[in-house]
Structure 1
């Protein structure tokens, strides 16, 4: 296959590129700063020569967007919003002009689209979508993506939560704080954590490509979310740390100021179930957190 990954130089894009390249596919990366042969320059805002790359592509995956791991002041909020909307908009313009456009287009989204929920398990069908900055970003992003229908192009919005891998994302940070003795629960520890192993993430993307009946919003998470308190306890045990200092909310608020991030990333309960993947008989390699930990800590 010919696969285009827009914004593909980060943790998820890098792993997808490796996964698909090793299977003999051609993978091209759209990036602001091309460094390699398969990387093509684009600014994620305007049509350019990069548009030619979309011709005769099998798959388009858009992962573009400013990281939400920052303070939510007005400038960052605007950049978080515009980087997602503008890249989706300009890719749609390019796709519209293609003579032979990609057969499937997957756009990043987030499990943050669902409300804080400790009890209600959010599926694509019955998920409760709320109204705050993060949820409204996701809603606007998906609305921009789905508002244009192109004949012959299947669209899927990837509602992803925490992706666990050793070469990026949240896991190296969680491992580090646990080793330092700071691996207690964050806040009350009751907030649910939806997660997926990076290997299953890549397999799920391949599965969606191969199964033509899967489209629309898709929860790309493992089917067994767990509480923050339970997750940190399992991590301490796996790393042979007998204790971990808890971090109350007030402490997290202070720390987040110094670290330039937001407590929402730790305290929001993301309780998500991948109903579409399960119903399509996708087989997870890492269904439970313990098994994922064994693999990640013994690569």
Structure 2
């Protein structure tokens, strides 16, 4: 297949590219800083030569969006919002102008669209979406994505939980604080962590691509969440770190400042 990954130079994009390339597929990356033969320039805002790649492609995977691993200043919040909406909008325009359209369009979303729950299981059918900055970003993102129905193009929004892998995302930071003896529970420790291994994320994307009956909002996560306390216990055990100091909320606030992120990123 000919697969196009928009904004594919980050953690998820790199793993998807490797996964599909090793299976013999032709993978192209849309990026602001093209450096390799299979990378093509785009700014995620305007049409350009990149739109020609869509012709006769099989799949488009859009991962564009400023990372939420940052402080939520007004400037960053605006960029988090606009980077997701604009990239989705310009891809729709490219689809509209394409004569031989890709059959499948997968757009990133996030499982943070759901309310925090320690008892209710948020499925696609009965999940409860909330009303805060992160949730409203996801709702606006999906609304833009599904606003236009394109004939013969199957769309799926990937409501992905925390993706764990050694080469990016949240996991290296969790390993770092565990290594330095800070791998105890964070806050109360009973908050559920929905997660998926990066290899299973790639397999899930492939599964959605290959099954024509799958469309709409799709949760991509392991079937069983784990408590924060149990997650950190398992991590300490695997890293052979004998102890880990617990971190009350006030310490997490301080740590997040030093890490230049938000406490709820974890």
Residue 147 (structure 1) aligned with residue 142 (structure 2) = no
- Once residues 242 and 35 of structure 2 are traced to their aligned partners in structure 1, the CA distance between those partners, rounded to angstroms, is 45
Residue 120 (structure 1) aligned with residue 125 (structure 2) = no
The aligned counterpart of 2:64 is 64
- Once residues 236 and 167 of structure 1 are traced to their aligned partners in structure 2, the CA distance between those partners, rounded to angstroms, is 19
| Superposition deviation, residue 116 in structure 1 | 1.0
The aligned counterpart of 1:46 is 46
The aligned counterpart of 1:18 is 18
The aligned counterpart of 1:270 is none
The aligned counterpart of 1:200 is 200
The aligned counterpart of 2:172 is 172
The aligned counterpart of 1:103 is 103
RMSD: 0.7
- Once residues 166 and 46 of structure 2 are traced to their aligned partners in structure 1, the CA distance between those partners, rounded to angstroms, is 34
- Once residues 109 and 209 of structure 2 are traced to their aligned partners in structure 1, the CA distance between those partners, rounded to angstroms, is 17
The aligned counterpart of 1:73 is 73
The aligned counterpart of 1:277 is none
- Once residues 143 and 116 of structure 2 are traced to their aligned partners in structure 1, the CA distance between those partners, rounded to angstroms, is 21
CA-to-partner distance for each residue in 1:24-60, whole Å, 9 max, x for gaps?
Answer: 1000000000000000000000011100001110000
TM-score, normalization: structure 1? 0.88
The aligned counterpart of 2:249 is 249
CA-to-partner distance for each residue in 1:210-259, whole Å, 9 max, x for gaps?
Answer: 10000101001000101101100111111222210011001111121222
The aligned counterpart of 2:190 is 190
Secondary structure at the aligned position of 1:50 is classed as helix
Residue 220 (structure 1) aligned with residue 220 (structure 2) = yes
TM-score, normalization: structure 2? 0.99
CA-to-partner distance for each residue in 1:102-122, whole Å, 9 max, x for gaps?
Answer: 100000000000011111111
- Once residues 23 and 253 of structure 2 are traced to their aligned partners in structure 1, the CA distance between those partners, rounded to angstroms, is 45
- Once residues 118 and 262 of structure 1 are traced to their aligned partners in structure 2, the CA distance between those partners, rounded to angstroms, is 21
The aligned counterpart of 2:37 is 37
The aligned counterpart of 1:274 is none
- Once residues 175 and 258 of structure 1 are traced to their aligned partners in structure 2, the CA distance between those partners, rounded to angstroms, is 16
Number of matched residues? 266
Q: Which runs of 5+ in 1 are unaligned?
A: 267-299
The aligned counterpart of 1:279 is none
Deviates more, 1:240-249 or 1:7-16: 240-249
| Superposition deviation, residue 186 in structure 1 | 0.6
Secondary structure at the aligned position of 2:49 is classed as coil
- Once residues 117 and 107 of structure 2 are traced to their aligned partners in structure 1, the CA distance between those partners, rounded to angstroms, is 24
| Superposition deviation, residue 262 in structure 1 | 0.7
- Once residues 76 and 179 of structure 2 are traced to their aligned partners in structure 1, the CA distance between those partners, rounded to angstroms, is 31
Secondary structure at the aligned position of 2:261 is classed as coil
The aligned counterpart of 1:87 is 87
Secondary structure at the aligned position of 1:169 is classed as coil
The aligned counterpart of 2:6 is 6
- Once residues 228 and 170 of structure 1 are traced to their aligned partners in structure 2, the CA distance between those partners, rounded to angstroms, is 13
- Once residues 253 and 175 of structure 2 are traced to their aligned partners in structure 1, the CA distance between those partners, rounded to angstroms, is 21
Residue 229 (structure 1) aligned with residue 229 (structure 2) = yes
* Structure 1 outlier segments of 4+, above 4 Å: none
